[in-house]
Structure 1
Amino acid sequence: MEGYKYICKLNELQENVGRKFIINDIEIAVFKINSGVFALSNICPHQQTHLIYDGFVEDEFVVCPAHGWKFNLRTGKKDSGSNGLDSYPIEIIGNQVYIKVHPIKYSW
């Protein structure tokens, strides 16, 4: 799995609770929900707050605790408007979670 780094065991992630990882000096928020594990930039584009991991999970969205902006966990796209978060691919092998350090860049 070229470009992927091990971050944790799957059972170490709590359902609907974010966890912050710093990989190659990049802050990444990882979320486990019933439909999978997803990783987004931990930095909200609104005022550059480093709090996405601490956001409230609602269906397949995370709500930034600083200002209430809502982002899709699969894509990082903001629920309205053109801003979004970088999204990072996740691979799960057995009980091990790996993340690709290079984000998927979407055009909003």
Structure 2
Amino acid sequence: MFNKNFIKYEQSLQRNQLYALHSNQCVCITCRKGDAWITEANGIDIILLTNEQYQTQCNGLVIIEALSDVQLQLQTIPTRRTWLARMGNATQKRLRYLFHAAPH
């Protein structure tokens, strides 16, 4: 099952302007115009040029710095939910209890 609630929007930045993106989903960043420097919380740095795309890791902070006036398209990527995420909270708690209570 895919999460169908994905978001797509445009973001314009002026040269040297910063934009902080907090997401718990993967985000596809497309640079429509200009150049941008992207830094992820895990230490990944990338320069994105006009008409290039980059897909972020699926959670955490992403900082975008405009190296020139830039037009970006940002779109969250539908992600598969794990079997544990599809279960209700009560079932998740019982499973965690069983795993932690089992003799090691």
The structure showing larger relative contact order (alpha-carbon pairs under 8 Å, at least 6 residues apart) is 2
Q: Which has the larger radius of gyration?
A: 2
TM-score by length of 2: 0.27
TM-score by length of 1: 0.27
Structure with the bigger percentage of helix? 2
